[in-house]
């Protein structure tokens, strides 16, 4: 496995984020209840944004020491359901709500529910193989995860990696078994760029292979299994020093995953929400040079009217310069400046 060099600042942020996880694991075993006080709120949802959420909460305590923000990493689908049921003050989601879910959320709020993009999460294709610089095209990634490519020396992988000696080992493709926004975003990309034969979905559509629940379990499964390949948010991959594949984009470049190369993937994204709702449609085939193409945008979903003041204050911090710049050492990419301005405007309009 690769041993990446990381700064002391990055290590401190990771330590702070992990320290905050303990309380969330404890609270995840309890039935969530909306607290009646104005100094505490409960939220739940995406595990992909857990590192960002823990960093935000840690530093938010410095400006609001009496505030308690509890975040339960139950997955995007469960987070949206709990928000609709009124069990949480806001939700974290890596996917935009369906029209039916949005209508239910609007009824719960008594006002329009908003998607607020808060951070870009590059999705890493991680692998356990003694090859330091693996390159994969979207068609090859599709073949691997759909079960058509089963050997590491398959001719498709060899074509992506000329002059590289590939082992004859079996491939173990690991997927998320739970309802995962990361799975939906990966399959959306593969559908657009690699010929993925199934509808994109939070639920993995194929039997066979090995399924795991949650990003941490995915990371551990690939880390400990020779010949394995999987997909996980870049923060988990970099935090555990896993090999990450270069991915061929629409220009034909095989691009390594970095916060900068992932941010470029938002160029061309369109806002499809209205009246302050900032749901995005990504362009997975952008031809901007240097773009790493597999990303997810993780949203906070909140009521436009009636959200507790603490929610508005916390979201304002997450979208601030301080909140955004704290994310890069954790493997996230900050929002582009023009989109960040729109997010701040939507938050300021909340009441």
- We report the CATH number of the domain holding residue 73 as 3.40.190.10
CA 318 to each of CA 12, 301, 321: distance values in angstroms, whole numbers, following the listed order: 18, 13, 8
Separation of alpha carbons 69 and 57, rounded Å = 7
Nearest to 49 by CA among 104, 101, 99, 123: 123
**In a shared domain, residues 147 and 249:** yes
Residue 183 lies in a domain: yes
**In a shared domain, residues 23 and 55:** yes
Residue 19 lies in a domain: yes
Q: How many CA atoms lie within 13 A of 272 on its CB side?
A: 11
Compute how many other C-beta atoms are within 10 angstroms of the C-beta atom of residue 316.
15
**In a shared domain, residues 197 and 68:** no
Strand arrangement of the beta sheet that strand 254-255 belongs to: 135-136, 246-248, 254-255
Separation of alpha carbons 324 and 61, rounded Å = 16
**In a shared domain, residues 36 and 115:** yes
Q: What is residue 146's three-state secondary structure?
A: coil
**In a shared domain, residues 100 and 33:** yes
Q: For residue 276, give both structure tokens.
A: 């302050």
Separation of alpha carbons 188 and 182, rounded Å = 10
Residue 236 lies in a domain: yes
Q: Which helix (H) or strand (E) holds 91?
A: strand 90-93
Per-residue pLDDT of the chain (351 residues; tens, 9 = 90+): 443 333 333 433 444 344 344 434 333 333 333 333 468 999 999 888 898 999 999 999 999 999 999 999 988 889 999 999 999 999 999 989 999 999 999 999 999 999 999 989 899 999 999 998 999 999 999 999 999 999 999 999 999 999 999 999 999 999 999 888 899 999 999 999 999 999 999 899 998 789 999 888 999 999 999 999 999 989 888 878 889 999 999 999 999 999 889 988 887 789 999 999 999 999 988 899 999 999 999 999 999 999 999 999 999 999 999 999 878 888 888 788 899 999 999 999 999
Nearest to 213 by CA among 30, 47, 44: 47
**In a shared domain, residues 106 and 132:** no
**In a shared domain, residues 112 and 214:** no
DSSP assignment of 6-49 equals --HHHHHHHHHHHHHHHHHHHHHTS-----SSSSEEEEEE-STT
**In a shared domain, residues 107 and 131:** no
Containing domain of residue 302, as a range? 8-121+298-349
In the chain, the number of structural domains is: 2
Residue 90 lies in a domain: yes
- Residue with the two structure tokens 């160029």: 267
pTM, two decimals, is: 0.79
- Residue with the two structure tokens 């068609």: 139
Q: For residue 12, give both structure tokens.
A: 């401190």
Q: For residue 160, give both structure tokens.
A: 């992506």
Residue 273 lies in a domain: no
DSSP assignment of 276-331 equals T---EE--TT---TT----EEEEEEEEESSS--HHHHHHHHHHTSHHHHHTSGGGT
Residue 24 lies in a domain: yes
Residue 153 lies in a domain: yes
Residue 161 lies in a domain: yes
According to DSSP H, which parts of the chain are helical? 8-28, 50-63, 76-84, 99-109, 138-145, 155-160, 181-193, 215-223, 234-239, 259-263, 309-318, 321-325, 337-349
């Amino acid at each position: 496995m690769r041993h990446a060099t990381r700064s002391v600042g990055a290590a401190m942020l990771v330590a702070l984020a992990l320290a905050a996880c303990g309380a969330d694991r404890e609270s995840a075993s309890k039935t969530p209840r909306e607290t009646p006080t104005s100094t505490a709120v409960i939220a739940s949802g995406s595990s992909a944004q857990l590192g960002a959420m823990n960093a935000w909460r840690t530093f938010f305590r410095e400006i609001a020491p009496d505030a308690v923000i509890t975040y339960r990493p139950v997955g995007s689908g469960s987070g949206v359901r709990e928000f609709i049921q009124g069990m949480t003050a806001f939700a974290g989601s890596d996917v935009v709500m369906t029209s039916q879910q949005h209508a239910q959320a609007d009824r719960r709020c008594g006002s329009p529910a908003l998607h607020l993009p808060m951070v870009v999460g590059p999705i890493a294709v991680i692998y356990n193989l003694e090859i330091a610089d693996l390159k994969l095209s979207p068609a090859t990634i599709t073949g691997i995860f759909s079960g058509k490519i089963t050997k590491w020396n398959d001719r498709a992988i060899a074509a992506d990696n000329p002059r590289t000696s590939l082992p004859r080992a079996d491939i173990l493709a690991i997927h998320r078994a739970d309802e995962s926004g990361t799975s939906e975003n990966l399959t959306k990309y593969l559908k657009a760029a690699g010929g993925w034969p199934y509808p994109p979905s939070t639920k993995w559509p194929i039997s066979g292979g090995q399924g795991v629940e949650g990003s941490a379990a995915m990371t551990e499964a690939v880390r400990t299994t020779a010949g394995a390949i999987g997909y996980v948010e870049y923060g988990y991959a970099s935090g555990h020093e896993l090999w990450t594949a270069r991915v061929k984009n629409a220009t034909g470049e095989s691009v390594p995953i970095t916060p900068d190369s992932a941010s470029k993937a938002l160029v061309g994204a369109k806002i499809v929400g209205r009246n302050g709702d900032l749901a995005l449609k990504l362009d997975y085939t952008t031809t901007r040079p240097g773009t790493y193409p597999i990303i997810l945008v993780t949203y906070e979903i909140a009521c436009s009217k009636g959200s507790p003041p603490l929610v508005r204050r916390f979201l304002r911090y997450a979208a601030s310069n301080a909140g955004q710049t704290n994310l890069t050492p954790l493997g996230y990419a900050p929002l582009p400046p023009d989109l960040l301005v729109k997010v701040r405007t939507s938050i300021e309009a909340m009441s």
